[in-house]
Amino acid sequence: MRNYLRSLFLFTLVFLTINGILAESRQPDKFKEALTIKPLSDGKLLTHFQFSVKHYGYKEGVVFSHYNFFPRAIGQIFQTYNVRELHLTFTQGRWNYEDWGYPFVPSAGTGVELWAWLWKDGKLDENWKSLTNALAGLFCASLNFIDDTITVQPKLSFRPEGPFNITELTERAELRYGSLPHENVCTENLTPWIKLLPCKSTSGIASLLNGHKLYDSNFHSMSIHVQPSCEEPDCINQQLEIIQTVSTVIDPVRNSGKRDWSLNNVFGRRLSQACPLAEESNLEIIIPEDGDYKIIPDADDIIQRSMDDTDDVEKKIAVYNLKKIEPDTELSMIWNEDQFEYNFNPVQPRIFAHRFFTGYGQERGGIKVNIFNKSPNISIPIIYYDVIPWYLKLYLHTLKVQINGKNTKLDAVNPIKDLYFQPAVDRSRPNVIEAEMLLPPNSLTTLSIKFDKVFLKYTEHPPDANRGFDIGSGIISTGKIDNDFLSNSTNMSLVTKKSLVEYMYFPIRIYTETLLVSLPTPDFSMPYNVITLTCTVIALFFGSMFNLITRSFVAFIDAGEEKAKKKIDSDKSNVQKGEKKDFDGENFDSDKSNVQKEENRDFDREKTKLEAEKTIDNN
């Protein structure tokens, strides 16, 4: 009976396991796509494409090789190099926080930004290097230039976007971050990006991705995020999710003077059918709160939702389901106005920042960051993060913090709660500043630091040396202020004691401007001349010194004078014998005897010569 039960139990177990595996592998990847359009307060238009594919049955450390919608190219790179999370963003232009508010996804600073959590497997740095190279090949970008001099490990600013357990994460994975501010983004990066989509650009909202229109914009950002995700709160079954986004900010006012837009004049294309593989395919328009406008045709549905993490205000959204829409539908929004009137008092986001260089000349300078906190009555915790390349030598002792133009020296009012600084090492790693700060309400906090510009070897300058070097954006991480924090922020001592990072999560990232610094240049046509001239000077010294040290002085003497001289010589040696003295213990008589010997030898030779050369070792 017991045997029977045991075999039944075993059988059930095997059945369940097999069933589970089959069920898991049977569950197909899920693909969702959405296009969000938002008229911005300065008349520009934000369009945001988001595509996400979820691969079910993903287990950390277990290699999967069956691909459905999930792009194989990314999946293979992801698994080969033991990546836990991957975030790659290509951006051109700068997100204008003051006019546009916060973007839907953290926009990255100009250029390319790559950050990834990699599993510690003994060859993590090698994997990171391979990862950058593989992605460089995949996206036709110069990601392979993210080498040791650029790579950093931020301590505070970046947390995984997917689910994570902080202790497990810090033990088993490490973060690597690299950015290339000078990288230009163009169609050669977009094409491989589109190829990763299940429907490519043949149908669905991806068919609107028209390179000609996309890059004719004030700002565009294209990104790939690969991260584990969970659908249940306890996170037993994980999925691997890839989120691809494209955001562009287009200026309809530039052409017509009005804010009117239609899909055709924004993208140069009309909407065709939805991607048949997509589970959801939506087009959403965030409806402005005021203004006289109409959207044609009418939306399928109007919902209310809050759009970004800082804003609790729910916004009205017109939703079009592309599964139901007619082919070649033209969607447009028409404002009842003759000319767009610029809004001079836009609603500013809570935190924004500007960064700029100070000083002049090519020898030294300074960096200044102005961080604004516009909230009228709450102190806001932020993390300021800045990577400055090694060719600017930062002096940490010159770091100054000002609040509303006043120096803060007292610790009580110092907004910097914790500071992590990694000084640069020439040709091997950059400067990293990470500061946890608490910004007082309605304030302008200014950080300033001075640096020396490094003189580079002529081979280290780029071909366009006088253009200068790009310095990547500084990043401010901040987040939604939760009530816990608010209740405690009155008690400042508690905040200073406890690390802010443990305290709250910082999902919003604000990127400052990238900067351009010109370094002193040598004359690039000079290598041969410099080698020649410097070596000549060295040879001049070596030659003259060698000459003086090795050759002794010689007098030309007539034979007639010789006899007279001999007499003097003998007199001299007598005199010298008499007054022979020690010079500090050193016997000068040895010198004298040398002189004598030389003279005797010379005298023999002189017999046969009329004019003789007399040498004396004057030493």
Partner 1 sequence: MSKVRQELKTIEVLPNLTGVIIFGVAFAIRFILFQFSNITEILGNRVEIVTPVTSFTRLTEGLYLFDNGVPPYDGGAFHQAPLFLACFQLLSYLPNILIPLTYIIADLLIAYLLANITRIKQHLYKDFPRIDVELYEGKPKEIDPWIVSGLYLFNPLTVASCLSRSTLLFTNLSVVLGTYYSLRNNKSYGMFWIAMATYLSFYPLMLVIPSILMLTNNTNLKGKKIENEVYSCAGLYIGWLTGLFILSYLLVDSWDFMQSTYGVILLLPDLTPNIGLFWYFFIEMFDQFRSFFLVVFQLHAFIFVVPISIKFRNHPLFVVFLLSGIMAVFKSYPSIGDASLYLAFLPIYSEIVKYMRYNYLTTNIFCYCSILSPIFYHLWIYAGSGNANFFYAITLVYTVGNIILLVDSTFSMLRREFDIWNPELRHCEITQK
Restricting to residues 449-488, name those near partner 1 by CB under 8 A: 452, 454-459
Among 15-23, 141-149, 303-311, 393-401, the segment contacting partner 1 (CB under 8 A): 393-401
Is residue 450 within 8 Å of residue 361, measured between CB atoms? no
- For position 560 contacting partner 1 by CB under 8 A, the verdict is no
Is residue 168 within 8 Å of residue 228, measured between CB atoms? no
C-beta closer to partner 1: residue 18 or 548 = 548
Among 170, 306, 544, 574, binds partner 1 (CB under 8 A): 544
The half-sphere exposure of 373 on its side-chain side, counting CA atoms within 13 A, is 24
Among 140-148, 243-251, 376-384, 577-585, the segment contacting partner 1 (CB under 8 A): 577-585
Among 21, 22, 531, 559, binds partner 1 (CB under 8 A): 531
Q: Which two tokens stand for residue 113?
A: 């930004």
Q: How far is the CB of 171 from partner 1 (least distance, A)?
A: 24
Is residue 178 within 8 Å of residue 118, measured between CB atoms? no
Among 327, 361, 405, 578, binds partner 1 (CB under 8 A): 361
The tokens 């500013």 sit on which residue? 348
C-beta closer to partner 1: residue 460 or 484 = 460
d(CA 610, CA 612): 6
C-beta closer to partner 1: residue 79 or 594 = 594
Q: How far is the CB of 394 from partner 1 (least distance, A)?
A: 8
Among 533, 574, 577, 593, binds partner 1 (CB under 8 A): 533
Q: How far is the CB of 529 from partner 1 (least distance, A)?
A: 8
Q: How far is the CB of 596 from partner 1 (least distance, A)?
A: 11
Alpha-carbon dihedral 584, 588, 590, 573, rounded to 10 degrees: -160
Among 125, 548, 560, 574, binds partner 1 (CB under 8 A): 548
- For position 224 contacting partner 1 by CB under 8 A, the verdict is no
Q: Which amino acid is at 580?
A: K
Is residue 194 within 8 Å of residue 201, measured between CB atoms? yes
Among 8, 554, 560, 605, binds partner 1 (CB under 8 A): 554
- For position 137 contacting partner 1 by CB under 8 A, the verdict is no
Q: Which two tokens stand for residue 346?
A: 């836009």
Is residue 519 within 8 Å of residue 362, measured between CB atoms? yes
- Which of 249, 161, 208, 206 minimizes the C-alpha distance to 32? 206
Instruction: Write phi, then psi, for 280 (nearest 5 degrees).
Output: -130, 140
d(CA 389, CA 10): 62
- Which of 354, 382, 341 minimizes the C-alpha distance to 95? 354
d(CA 292, CA 343): 15
Q: Which amino acid is at 165?
A: N
Is the bond into 163 cis (omega within 30 degrees of 0)? no
Q: How far is the CB of 367 from partner 1 (least distance, A)?
A: 15
Q: How far is the CB of 451 from partner 1 (least distance, A)?
A: 10
C-beta closer to partner 1: residue 419 or 444 = 419
- For position 499 contacting partner 1 by CB under 8 A, the verdict is no
- For position 516 contacting partner 1 by CB under 8 A, the verdict is no
Is residue 335 within 8 Å of residue 259, measured between CB atoms? yes
Among 92-100, 150-158, 271-279, 540-548, the segment contacting partner 1 (CB under 8 A): 540-548
- For position 421 contacting partner 1 by CB under 8 A, the verdict is yes
d(CA 599, CA 557): 13
Among 35-43, 235-243, 391-399, 508-516, the segment contacting partner 1 (CB under 8 A): 391-399
C-beta closer to partner 1: residue 330 or 363 = 363
- For position 392 contacting partner 1 by CB under 8 A, the verdict is no
Among 231, 568, 605, 611, binds partner 1 (CB under 8 A): 568
Among 154-162, 255-263, 312-320, 533-541, the segment contacting partner 1 (CB under 8 A): 533-541
- For position 582 contacting partner 1 by CB under 8 A, the verdict is yes
289: Cβ contacts below 8 Å, ≥ 6 apart: 315, 316
C-beta closer to partner 1: residue 3 or 466 = 466
- For position 344 contacting partner 1 by CB under 8 A, the verdict is no
- For position 559 contacting partner 1 by CB under 8 A, the verdict is no
Contacting partner 1 within 592-611 (CB under 8 A): 595
Among 133, 191, 237, 521, binds partner 1 (CB under 8 A): 521
- For position 427 contacting partner 1 by CB under 8 A, the verdict is yes
Among 234, 289, 298, 584, binds partner 1 (CB under 8 A): 584
d(CA 466, CA 290): 48
Q: How far is the CB of 434 from partner 1 (least distance, A)?
A: 13
The DSSP call for residue 429 is: B
d(CA 18, CA 11): 11
Among 537, 578, 600, 610, binds partner 1 (CB under 8 A): 537
- For position 538 contacting partner 1 by CB under 8 A, the verdict is yes
C-beta closer to partner 1: residue 237 or 596 = 596
Q: Which amino acid is at 417?
A: K
**Edge-to-edge strands of the sheet including 219-230?**
173-180, 111-119, 83-92, 219-230, 238-250, 45-58, 30-39, 280-286, 315-321, 301-305
- For position 572 contacting partner 1 by CB under 8 A, the verdict is yes
Contacting partner 1 within 175-214 (CB under 8 A): none
d(CA 164, CA 32): 24
DSSP character string of 461-500? S-TTGGG-EEEPPPEEEE----HHHHHHHTSHHHHHHS-H
C-beta neighbour count of 387 within 10 angstroms = 25
Three-state DSSP at 364 gives strand
Q: How far is the CB of 527 from partner 1 (least distance, A)?
A: 4
Q: How far is the CB of 540 from partner 1 (least distance, A)?
A: 6
Q: Which two tokens stand for residue 442?
A: 């309605």
Count of chain residues binding partner 1 (CB under 8 A): 71
